[in-house]
Amino acid sequence: MDVITHKCPNCGGALTFDPGDQKFHCPFCLSIFTEAEVTAFEQKQKEAQLADGTAPENQPITDDTEPALKEAITEKTEEKAAQMDLFLCPNCGAEIVTDATTAATYCYFCHNPVVLSGRLSGEFLPNKVLPFAIEKEEATAKFLEWAQKKWFVPRDFFDQAQVEKLTGVYFPYWRIDAELDGQLSGTGTSLRIWRVGEIEYTEHKQFAVSRRGKMRINELIKNALSKNVQQKMVTGVQPFPLDKAVDFRSQYLAGFQAEKRDIEYQALKNEVQQELSGYAENLLSSTVNGYTSFNRTQRNIEITKETNHYVLLPVWLVTYRADDPNKNVFYYAMNGQTGKVSGVLPISYKRLGFTSAAIFAVIAILGMIGGYFL
């Protein structure tokens, strides 16, 4: 597996992306660079290697990659990308094992940020990436504030060891935009009841109702990772401000973990189209007002235009395995752009039991005191 580390143009140290200022920082010489500066530096390196007649093996393919460079490295990356799960750290040479979908991680020995370039190239090259805007310090503070306010949560859920597990992850998603033509018709019923003296009157009217319109549905997000068992968790931190997404550059992954997609759009297409048609029908139905009831008799929804884009979205994530016979897994997630949180918390039955016993004891004592005075 081809592995790259984005190097500092000044000292050669490993760069990491800082959500705070949206720039790339070198922890060794403390230099700071923009995305354009890092890209320009790496492009000069590629040109120099091509001039020397050597193709850089550890280089990702992007839309900007020169045709000659693509031809030199595409065949090898496409053959290896899908199955390889063992690679060498370019900094210390240690062997690191990853899942087949992992696209960016850390070396667990020297903590060097690495990007598995072959897994984010060619057909697996994301169209867009939404960079992290919340730094780990802020994410940690919000996690502690959120968890400590909850009653009966085990203390080890938010102790120091657990806090250190908080990880920034780019999850793969499909973004779908669509335009639709829709027509809806049915019978609207109007019922009016009134009374004159002792006589009750009922008026029952029926109307032919028809609605037609053109609709645009943007930013429908669908999960593109089969092992994402915390789908409800990631859904809970939506929406993401997709207008802030930028063209994909692997530099944005430096210092974070990332996953590549393993669910293709064709596998989701029927589900997506049904969902789009449902949204369109609801929009048309919402315009039918002024009737006691409405009975739909005909519906025709046509998707006239549909586009999809492969995007990486940022989530701060920490998981917790409960110390119980079932070993249930609980989680906390935060939107890496907006700070919206979602989670399922464990319950400490010991703390719950102690609290219940204390409340019972207080009630018993108050009852005894009340009985004494009565």
pLDDT tens digits, residue range 108-150?
566 677 777 667 777 888 999 999 999 988 988 888 787 776 5
Contacts of residue 128, Cβ cutoff 8 Å, sequence gap at least 6:
175, 242, 245, 246, 247, 248, 309, 310, 311, 312
Per-residue pLDDT, 233: 64
For residue 368, what pLDDT band results from cuts at 50, 70 and 90?
A: low
Bond before 113 cis per omega within 30 degrees: no
Contacts of residue 26, Cβ cutoff 8 Å, sequence gap at least 6:
8, 10, 11, 13, 14, 15, 32, 33
Mean pLDDT of 243-255: 90
Per-residue pLDDT, 183: 95
Per-residue pLDDT, 160: 67
% of residues, the chain, pLDDT over 70: 68
Per-residue pLDDT, 57: 45
Has residue 358 got a pLDDT over 90?
no
**Domain limits of the chain?**
16-125, 136-350
Mean pLDDT of 211-236: 81
Per-residue pLDDT, 95: 63
Has residue 65 got a pLDDT over 60?
no
pLDDT tens digits, residue range 192-222?
999 998 899 899 999 999 999 999 999 999 9
Contact 317, 333 (CB under 8 A): yes
For residue 83, what pLDDT band results from cuts at 50, 70 and 90?
A: very low
pLDDT tens digits, residue range 275-308?
999 999 999 999 999 899 999 999 999 999 999 9
Per-residue pLDDT, 94: 66
Mean pLDDT of the chain: 78
Per-residue pLDDT, 366: 61
